[in-house]
Amino acid sequence: MSLQTDLIGLLGTDRVLASGLDRYLYGKDAGVYRGEVTVVALPETTEEVAEIVRIAARHGVPVVPRGAGTGLAGGAVPLGGGVVVATTRMNQIFEIDAANRCAWVGPGVINLDLSRAAEPYGLHFAPDPSSQSACTIGGNVANNSGGPHCLAEGSTVNHVLGLEVVLADGDVLVVGGKAPDPIGLDLRGILVGSEGTLGIVTKALVRLTPNPPDVRTLLITFDSVEDAAATVSGVIAAGLVPAALEMMDQRMTQAVENWLGAGLPTDAAAILLAEVTGDTPAVEAEADVIRAVATEHRAREIRLARDEAERALLWKGRKSAFGAVAQAAPDYYLHDTVVPRTKLVETMREVYEIGERYGLTMMNVFHAGDGNLHPLMMFDASEPGALERVHAAADELVELCVRNGGVLSGEHGIGKEKRDLMHLMFTPVDLDAQARIKEAFDPEGRFNPEKVLPAGSRCFDFGRPIPEGAWI
């Protein structure tokens, strides 16, 4: 029987998608890369995922896990056909354990829905990507996603206690658990951020964080990007790690304000959105520290959100930034790199220079507190050579950040986007070690192939020929 026939026998016709339109839609994520899909499977249980993996193995085709498709690094884009396993129907919240501040959830649970479900218990899921109203927990786990409020709380890996995972042979493995320090190897830590290359997450045990008793949100305006960036370093140097410290440049602020009308100062070169949480005396003292540091670095205006409504509007503006830029150009490429906070000023200057050199409008909005940059390059994909210029500028951006002591990615993952730039950070020995882990979990290289690790990372590359010039 054919692959499609076997999958229909398992899932039925309504949960196996193979039309030209369906394969086209599932052929890309929210980034700029497109791949080739053989068939899409929509499982609802762990057992179905395991059997899909076995069916794919019998037919000798790859398996590519996919969440909501909000990823930006091509991680869920199938590069050589195969079965796309979309886990969005696995959206059950199995348990909220308020006493232990954790929850067992399916990979298809939407990030924001989990926090809403935990709200009656005075809890929330701390990682809050800008796409949190659409992205799923499975995708968050796969990419070790972050978000504005991960500065103090940490990214997804700090909020995953355990995982249920389907392995390459169809076996189901459970790692971690509610115990605070489980014995044995930390396989949970290996699986979080592995981008579906080691297994398919079918359940996650996530940590829930208490809602803060009080909060202060400040909007700070600057006449130069350099002063805003210097304020970020100054706040951390003062011994304060805010709940969030976000930055937008003027072009980005103008785009957001044109769309939302949140009262953002469009004549400012840059704005900072700073938030502190905790008991009332603490947040008032911490807000005063931020005011003092911002004033020292020539802040033009420091505005405190009057109430929850204004605070929510400010955060809506920040989290809607990527959608708002659609006014500026037909297409944009959103990048993700990291530099030390002490390098923000000089790095931002060079980011704008790269944009000018390649004839691209750069708009910047990023997690300034942890140096996680998100330059947006505006372009028109129908213009000959435009996409090639964008990719060249993007590679140069990554090289710049690594040269300044940073890393390839803060939260979007490696995927296809940065796969061939891994050598900028990792030695051949490092890449070989990572490839050996991949081989241990997935000997046939069937899970999300050609992602994360460049060709030649291992002495043999899972059955594919080693390209000329690759190290051995």
Reported as a single tens digit per residue, the pLDDT across 202-256 is: 999 999 999 999 999 999 999 999 999 999 999 999 999 999 999 999 999 999 9
Q: How many CB atoms are closer than 10 A to CB 440?
A: 10
Instruction: Give the model's confidence band at 461: pLDDT under 50 very low, under 70 low, under 90 confident, else very high.
Output: very low
Q: What angle do CA 311, 312, 317 make, to 5 degrees?
A: 100
Angle at 244 between CA 238 and CA 249, to 5 degrees: 95
Half-sphere exposure of 114 (CA within 13 A, CB side): 37
* pLDDT at residue 170, as a whole number: 98
Q: Is 93 helix (H, G, I), strand (E, B) or coil?
A: strand
Task: State both tokens at 226.
Answer: 């350099």
Give 467's pLDDT tier (boundaries 50, 70, 90): very low
Q: H-type helices in 331-382, by residue range?
A: 344-357
pLDDT of the residue at 209: 97
Does residue 379 surpass a pLDDT of 80?
yes
Question: Would the pLDDT of 469 be above 70?
Answer: no
Which band of pLDDT confidence, cut at 50, 70 and 90, is reported for residue 470? very low
8 A C-beta contact, residue 197 and residue 452: yes
- pLDDT given for residue 459 in this prediction: 60
pLDDT at 38: 97
Query: pLDDT for 355-366, tens place per residue?
Result: 999 999 999 999
Q: What pLDDT is attached to residue 80?
A: 87
Mean pLDDT of 106-133: 97
Q: CA–CA separation, 451 vs 415, rounded Å?
A: 5
Task: Answer yes or no: is pLDDT of 111 > 60.
Answer: yes
pLDDT at residue 194 in the model:
98
Beta strand 83-86 with 39-41: parallel, antiparallel or unpaired?
parallel
Give this prediction's pTM. Answer: 0.93
pLDDT of residue 167: 98
Smallest Cα–Cα separation from 130: which of 71, 199, 53?
71
Residue 463 binned pLDDT confidence (cut-offs 50, 70, 90): very low
Structure tokens at 291: 């005011």
Domains of the chain: 3-86 (3.30.43.10), 93-210 (3.30.465.10), 214-322 (3.30.70.2190), 329-419 (3.30.70.2740), 425-448+455-461 (no CATH)
Percent of the chain scoring above 90 in pLDDT: 88
Choice between 109 and 331, residue whose per-residue pLDDT is larger? 109
Dump strand ranges (E) for 279-415.
301-304, 331-334, 337-338, 361-366, 372-373, 375-379
Give backbone dihedrals phi and psi of 310, rounded to 5 degrees, phi first. -70, -40
